[in-house]
Amino acid sequence: MRALLLFDIDGTLVSGGPAKKAFHVAMLEVFGTAGPIAGHEFSGKTDPQIARELLRLAGFDDAAIESGLEDLWAVYLAELGTRLPSRPMVPLPGVEELLDRLRADSQVALGLVTGNVEGGARLKLESAGIRADWFPVGAYGSDHEHRNELPGVAIERARRHWRADWVSQDVVVIGDTPRDIACGRAHFTRTVAVATGKVDRRTLMEAGPDLLLESFADVDRALDAICGQPGRA
């Protein structure tokens, strides 16, 4: 296979939805506080990272945080599942056609690298009409709290799944935040930034992606950027 493409979810494939509200409700139910959630930055972080940051700011120690995380994810996923039908995720422009065309290419392997816990990733994608099994492998916030660890997890799962190997320049990490770019760079993959999340172009450029796209709306250009050889698109 020519390339392993590892997509972020929020701000990259889909937007909107009730996840922040579901997370807030779950934090209140399990920990009695969501800390200073209103002004807190979520973009590009893993779910456990966000929970730990907020709970530390609320005065919790790590042992108290750890002891509640399993319950937190259970309540969060229940809340998310309940709320998504009335406030579904929306696929970002071009995403449906882009995924259709990538899925039709037998030389391309599709995976996820996302800060979402795995159940949340599945719920969000399916809510937007994107089947989770279009991505046979992934690495999730539930695998590791630190995003920089996730591409390695995804690449190892991909090697086992496809019984194929890729040099790092055949792996592409695609996301909407500097944290996506950093986690790809930590594994020497190619990186493609897409400015459809909450981070502006300039900030994304400063993160040093190999390529930056305004969006996936121009699907031909997006395919060339994602699947093309380094420096070609």
Binding site for Mg ion (CB under 5 A): 8, 10-11, 176
- The whole-angstrom distance between residue 169's C-alpha and the CA centroid of its chain comes to 20
Q: How far is CA 124 from CA 16, 87, 111, 151, in A?
A: 10, 11, 15, 20
Specify the residue, 79 or 176, whose C-beta has the smaller distance to Mg ion.
176
Nearest to Mg ion of 53, 176 (CB atom): 176
**Per-residue b/e over 80-114, b at no fewer than 16 CB within 10 Å?**
beebbeeebbebbbbbbbbbeebeeeeebbbbbbb
Type of residue numbered 164? A
Q: State in angstroms the smallest separation of the CB of 199 from Mg ion.
A: 9
| Cβ–Cβ under 8 Å, residues 138 and 22 | no
Distance of alpha carbon 156 from alpha carbon 150, whole angstroms: 10
We find the least distance from the C-beta atom of residue 219 to Mg ion, in angstroms, to be 20
Cβ at position 32, least distance to Mg ion in Å = 29
Min separation Cβ 20 and Mg ion, Å? 13
Chain residue at closest Cβ approach to Mg ion: 11
Nearer CB in complex with Mg ion: 65/174: 174
Least Å from the CB of residue 13 to Mg ion: 9
